[in-house]
Amino acid sequence: METLKKESTSMNVVEASNRDYSQNEKLVERYPIKNSPFTVITVENEHFGVMGEYRMTEGYKTRGECEDELKKMTWNRIIQVMFVLSEIREKDKEFNKNVKKSLKTKNNKKK
């Protein structure tokens, strides 16, 4: 399982229509799976499943194959989801620690 880089999704219609994707940029499509925490990402005819910023599957030739794989509730999938939730929780703890530390530092400077 790998962590994916977050991409900015804010782009207006004019920017999107003026873009030339034939150069070095890849068109990324996202297809959320209804009633699940998973999304199928399509990049240049390769489809893979993610949960948040974590990749959950290998690449597939069709989106349907990828969706079917994500919908299977195997022990492997359950463990993957548990691992991702644990990672998110740990990141949240670190974020909270950093915020608290920052607030203490700012409050100490004011005194």
Please give the average per-residue pLDDT across 51-70, as a whole number: 94
Q: Label residue 52 exposed, middle or buried (CB < 10 Å: 0-12, 13-18, 19+).
A: middle
CA 79 to chain centre: 18
Rounded mean pLDDT, 72-77: 92
Q: How confident is the model at residue 8 (pLDDT cuts 50, 70, 90)?
A: very low
pTM tops 0.85: no
